[in-house]
Every structure is written in C-alpha cells, then in structure tokens.
Structure 1
Amino acid sequence: MSTLCESGYKLAKEAKRTADLLVSPYNEDLVHRICREVRLLQAKAESVLRSMRENPATQGQPSQLTQVMMHHAAIKRNKRILFAYHRQRLEKLKELSWDVGRQSDFQREIKTSLGPTEHKFMEEYGEMVSAYKQSFLEIDLGGNGGVGLDPPMDLFIEVRVVRDVGEINTEYGTLNLVKGSQYYVRQTDVESLIKAGYLKHVA
C-alpha cells in the first residue's frame, strides 16, 4: 500500500529534475497512478458523506469531518501536481516549436518522449508556428538553425558538449562535438544546439 500522495510526490520530483532536458519521457505510469488515487479518494470522501447523511446522529463528528477534509486536501494536491507537470511539458513543447523547429535533427528524440495527447498538440501547434513564420520570411524568428530575435551578447562563446552531437559544419570549418569536450565557437553556429540541450554555455 503506497503512502498518500506518494505518486504525486515522485512526479513533482521528476518534473523538477528533468526541467532542463530537451524533453523528458512522458511518465504515463505515474500519471495513471495519480488519477486512480484521485478517483479512490473521491469515492472514500463520498462514502463518508453518504454515511453522515444516512446517520444524522453522526453528523458533525470530528473524525468523519477530518476524513473528508483529508481526502479533499489530498485530491487537491494531486490535481495541482498533475496540472503543474503537464503545464511544464506544454511550455517546453511550445518553446521547442519555436526554437528547434519541426524539421530538426531532434524530432525523433522529441516524438519518442511525448505522451498520448502531446503528439497531436505538437503537430497542430507546430503547424500554427510554421504558418505564422511564413508571414515574416524576411525576419529570423528562430528554429531550423535560426537564432531568433534575441541579439547575441558575445560573438564567440565557450560551450561544453553535454551529449554527443557529431560533426557540424561552420564558417570556420568542421567541429566534432563529442560529449565532455569544450569549444570556443561563434554563438550563431551553436545556438540551436544550446537551446536543444546538447551544449551548455560555459559562463
């Protein structure tokens, strides 16, 4: 028997731990467990309330009122964790649609990490972003190798490779980006890789 709200606690910890990743795999198992717990707590609360209505003499007893309040608080906590988890993922998918683009090399990795309804959202939101960008072809709005509207603070930056990328071509030649290596490169050449979580800007 798991502790009350234990699954919600695990999901909240996972969301915090994976916040900086490109996109973490959707934890369908924990989400379903939390939903089952919410339904179970709701049924228990309704059972206590039904018992109180059927036995007027027991109404107002501290033990029963406490049970209802405890179940209600646990349900509310679980729902808030689910909302926060899905909101974080939603914002990450929106950010990826703008910064990484739909035709990037990371699409396979992104798609294998999505939940059941996230595939549809990513596809439809991506189509809206693409349609919007078509209206401003003369402006770099980011994605597909573009750097977006944020001006670089420095022309060259130092980056550390967090995950293997392989070879990339730049104006100054070819770079083989292997995990653990560090380079001094032009920011515009690696901006999309930084946003995707493959490189880390070393301050």
Structure 2
Amino acid sequence: MAEARQYGDLATQLVTESRRSTATDTLLKYNDSLIRSILREQRQLEQVLQNALSDLTDPEFDGNNPSLLIYQTAILRNKRCLLAYHSHRLDRLRDLYWGSGGALPHILNDQDIRSKLSPHEVDFLKEYNSSVMDFRGEFSDELDITASITQPPKDLHVLVRVVRDCGVIQTELGTIDFKKGQRFMVRRADIEHLVVQGYLEEV
C-alpha cells in the first residue's frame, strides 16, 4: 500500500532542503525532480478546485464547501515555497558571483558548481554578469565595482606572488604574463579580482 501523503508535503521538503543548504553554507544540486512533482501537484490541486467550483452552479448546492478554502490554501502555500526556494538559490548564486570577484568563466568552468545548476540558473548568471559588466563599463575609470571592499587598501601598489597561471593581463604598467611562482609589484586595482579568484596572493 502506497504511503499516504498530504498536500504540501513536497513543498515542505523543498523548504527543508533550502534550510539545510543555509546551515551547511553550501549550494546543493537543483532538485529538478522535486520541483516537477510539486508542479504536478499544483495542476492536480487546480483541477480539484475547478471541479469544486463547478458545484457552485448546482441549484441544490447550499453554499457550504470548506474544501475550497483547503485547496486554495494548499495552492498558495506551494507557490510560496517554490518562490522561496528559487529566491534562496538566486541569492546564493549572487553571493558566489561576487565571492569570485565577478569571474563568470571561473564559476561556470568549475564542474562541481556547474553540475549543481539548472539551465535556467546558468542563463541567470550569464545575464547577471552581462548587466554587471554594462554597469561597470560606465565607471571603469573611477571605480571597479567587482573589487573587494572588505578592508580599505593601505597602498596603491601591492607585491603579489602567482599561485596559478592566469595568462597575460592588461594592467596600468602594461601587459603582464602571470606565471606560477613569479612575483610582481602591481597596482592593487588591476589585480584584486585575481587575488579573490585565487590566482594571486599578497606577499
């Protein structure tokens, strides 16, 4: 015999998963199967509600049908849980984006992260990055909005050591080929995003 399940149980599982993600400070894999199950439940609820509403046209109906409230409440609760789940994931993706210094390729090339994202979340990150780059272009000479601002810099220039090869980068001093093990004195604003991404470290 199949286990009895109440309306809203699936949505509760989804919210519980979001709470677990927050508690462990990790991005869990997008739960596509659970989302689809909740959407199927939504369609069933809407059909049941529609059938219940058709009773209102029955001349013998006395106007007393508390099930209408139950179905409507279940539908709205499922919607809130779906919105909360997706809002939470978008917040985590934005944190991930800014935590990497706005390095979208670094995020999407990481197979561990990429495997946890839905195709729509990948599209969101690409569009978000495009919007940030457009905004950043308007202030490129005065301000780098992708740079870390956790602590004010002590010096304009900083000595860095290359931890991982990151190729040729255009800086205020010209182009520099950052190869592992080398050290450079460079303008902080030019390389701060590389420090955040883990390519360079301050000496």
1:122 aligns to what?
A: 125
| Counterparts in 2 of 1:94 and 1:113: CA distance versus 1, 3 Å | same
Secondary structure in structure 2 of the residue aligned to 1:114? coil
Map Cα deviations across residues 126-163 of structure 1 (whole Å, 9 max, x no partner): 12223333444464433xxx4x22327xxxxxxxxxxx
Deviation at 1:105, TM superposition (A): 6.0
Secondary structure in structure 2 of the residue aligned to 1:92? helix
Distance between the aligned counterparts of 1:121 and 1:112, measured in 2? 15
Structure 1 residue runs of 4+, over 4 Å off? 188-193
Deviation at 1:22, TM superposition (A): 4.4
| Counterparts in 2 of 1:105 and 1:94: CA distance versus 1, 3 Å | closer
| Counterparts in 2 of 1:130 and 1:107: CA distance versus 1, 3 Å | farther
Contact 2:104 2:125 in 1 (8 A): no
Q: Which blocks of at least 5 consecutive residues in structure 2 are unaligned?
A: 153-162, 165-180, 182-192, 199-203
1:113 to 113, 116, 122: 116
Q: Between Structure 1 and Structure 2, whose CA radius of gyration is higher?
A: 2
What amino acid is the match of 1:17? R
Distance between the aligned counterparts of 2:73 and 2:124, measured in 1? 31
Distance between the aligned counterparts of 2:52 and 2:81, measured in 1? 25
Q: What's the Cα RMSD here?
A: 3.0
Distance between the aligned counterparts of 2:26 and 2:140, measured in 1? 26
Secondary structure in structure 1 of the residue aligned to 2:29? coil
1:38 equivalenced with 2:42 (yes/no): yes
1:10 equivalenced with 2:13 (yes/no): yes
What amino acid is the match of 1:117? H
| Counterparts in 2 of 1:104 and 1:136: CA distance versus 1, 3 Å | farther
Q: Which blocks of at least 5 consecutive residues in structure 1 are unaligned?
A: 153-167, 175-187, 194-203
Map Cα deviations across residues 96-123 of structure 1 (whole Å, 9 max, x no partner): 2233121326742322211131121111
| Counterparts in 2 of 1:96 and 1:129: CA distance versus 1, 3 Å | farther
1:70 aligns to what?
A: 70
Contact 1:41 1:75 in 2 (8 A): yes
Contact 2:104 2:129 in 1 (8 A): yes
Secondary structure in structure 1 of the residue aligned to 2:5? coil
* TM-score normalized with structure 1 length: 0.65
| Counterparts in 2 of 1:89 and 1:123: CA distance versus 1, 3 Å | same
Secondary structure in structure 2 of the residue aligned to 1:52? helix
1:132 aligns to what?
A: 135
Distance between the aligned counterparts of 1:105 and 1:87, measured in 2? 19
2:98 aligns to what?
A: 98
How many residues get paired? 156
2:27 to 23, 29, 42: 23
Contact 2:27 2:92 in 1 (8 A): yes
